[in-house]
Structure 1
Amino acid sequence: MKDAMVRAGQSSKKAALIYQHSTLERQKEVAAALDARVRAERHDVADGEASGAEVVRRA
């Protein structure tokens, strides 16, 4: 929430929530991006390229 507030120039959570909008299409985009990221990270870990701590540090 705080990151979104900073990016939008809002000083309160209430203001951020008032102007927060989401569409089904946007939710699908976010879900797809998260899925791709998780799959990529799992692939790295499975290949022994990154530990869990390393994955978090890179995020």
Structure 2
Amino acid sequence: MRPGGLGRGMGRGRGAPRGRMGGFGMGPAGECVCPQCGTRVPHQRGVPCFQMRCPNCGAPLTRAR
């Protein structure tokens, strides 16, 4: 075995950083958008958009990019 681990030691560390739990972690600012009616709601820090409901039609929201 090689000192320091099992791998070959050739990793370059070029992968894109990911957010918590494998997501993309878009940060606290931004908006959540309804995929059905297009209503936009300010994103609430600490609450994922998919856990929020549209105030107009009740559909789960998605994060606006």
**TM-score past 0.5 threshold:** no
Larger Rg: 1 or 2? 2
Decide which structure has greater strand share.
2
* TM-score normalised by structure 1 residue count: 0.27
* TM-score normalised by structure 2 residue count: 0.25
Q: Which one scores higher on RCO, CA 8 angstroms, separation ≥ 6?
A: 2
Decide which structure has greater helix share.
1
